[in-house]
Amino acid sequence: MAKKAEKTPETAPKKKAAAAKPKTTKTKAAKPAPARRQVTVPPPFAAPDARVLDRLWATVLSRKDADPNQSHSARLLSRGTEKVAQKFGEEAVECVIEAVAGKTTALIGESADVLYHLLVLWVDAGLRPEQVWAELTRREGMSGIAEKAARKPLQLGFPTKKIP
Ligand SMILES: N=c1c2ncn([C@@H]3O[C@H](COP(=O)(O)OP(=O)(O)OP(=O)(O)O)[C@@H](O)[C@H]3O)c2ncn1[C@@H]1O[C@H](COP(=O)(O)O)[C@@H](O)[C@H]1O
């Protein structure tokens, strides 16, 4: 059996030689704090919502005294209440036609026309959107069936019972 070679200082593993060295306490240099990065937070996805109605109303109101050759709203408003109301009625009928025909895309377009012409009607009447929003808010949670049942018969201005 071969005799194991004796370890001399030259042949001894370096690890041990290192261990033999006097220990020095290494002080870790403090890591520099990471520089604060300027993070640009993207704005939340601006989904279209009903606030567009408030903006559109303000635009139409601003057109009240505008040049009828430059603004469709100004032209319409300059033609008076009857014309404004007539246009709203026409657009409402077109909306009804598309709804009955089941044409969804056309219904979207006609609905936008109806809302635009309704806002022109409000501007002509001196009505602010908040007045209508307040009425809708007042009705929130009120069942339409219960409200109708609670109506006084004469509220509609004509008899609700059939005259024999
Ligand atoms: N949403 C609308 C909008 N919807 C429909 N229309 C216009 O309404 C008109 C409808 O045309 P019609 O032929 O049915 O009616 P008409 O021209 O009155 O003709 P007649 O019926 O009198 O013969 C078209 O000229 C459309 O462009 C609108 N015009 C304007 N707006 C909005 O109003 C804002 C202000 O518009 P101006 O007032 O034009 O600056 C715009 O930025 C839009 O946001």
- pLDDT for position 108: 98
**Atom 5 of ligand 1, residue of closest alpha carbon:** 113
**DSSP letter, residue 153:** G
Q: How far apart are the first and last CA of the chain?
A: 132
User: Among residues of the chain, what percentage have pLDDT more than 70?
Assistant: 71
Token code pair at residue 49: 């919502």
Give the residue whose CA is nearest to atom 12 of ligand 1. Answer: 87
Q: Residue 93: its pLDDT value, please?
A: 98
Q: Which of 51, 54, 63, 72 to mutate to test the pocket of ligand 1 (most atoms within 8 A of CB)?
A: 72
- What is the distance in A from the centroid of ligand 1 to the CA of 44? 31
Q: Which atom of ligand 1 is nearest to the CA of 91?
A: 14
Q: Are 51 and 117 in contact, with CB atoms under 8 Å apart?
A: no
Q: What is the mean pLDDT of residues 53-75?
A: 97
ipTM for the complex?
0.92
For residue 7, pLDDT over 80 is answered with: no
Fold of domain 51-140: Helix Hairpins (1.10.287)
Sequence-distant (6+) residues with CB within 8 A of 45 are none
73 CA → ligand 1 middle, Å: 6
Q: pLDDT class for 9, splitting at 50, 70, 90?
A: very low
Q: How far apart are CA 26 and CA 4, in angstroms?
A: 37
Which strand (E) or helix (H) includes residue 60? Answer: helix 51-62
pLDDT at 152: 75
d(CA 129, CA 123): 9
Atom of ligand 1 nearest to the CA of 87: 21
**Rg of the Cα atoms in the chain:** 40
